[in-house]
Amino acid sequence: MLAGAAGAATAQTVVVQERWGHWDPTWGREPGPPQHRYMRHWRGHENNYYGHVHNCMVKYHGYNPRRDMYREHRRWVPCRD
């Protein structure tokens, strides 16, 4: 009886770390990972990518997560938050 109680008391919760950070489903459809040409920029802090995308979506209405750019008049501008 003690062995069963001790086993339940020592159970650990498993935390799944998301590679690109946390994406809240209420923000819309989850974007894909950054394009290959931007991978060098995100190396070392990949878990901040989804937060960056969400900030850009809120700040710039013409933001495109596939390009990581937003539309300003007739040109595309990189989002730097």
Q: Residue 41 has what pLDDT? A: 82
User: At 18, is the secondary structure helix, strand, or coil?
Assistant: coil
Q: Yes or no: say if 81 and 48 are a contact pair by the CB < 8 Å rule.
A: no
Nearest to 70 by CA among 59, 60, 55: 60
Torsion of CA 53, 59, 63, 65, to 10 degrees: 0
Residue with the larger pLDDT of the pair 11 and 74:
74
What digits encode the pLDDT tens for the residues 27-45?
999 998 888 877 888 888 8
User: At 24, is the secondary structure helix, strand, or coil?
Assistant: coil
DSSP state of 10: T
Q: Residue 35 has what pLDDT? A: 83
Domain locations along the chain: 47-81
DSSP state of 22: -
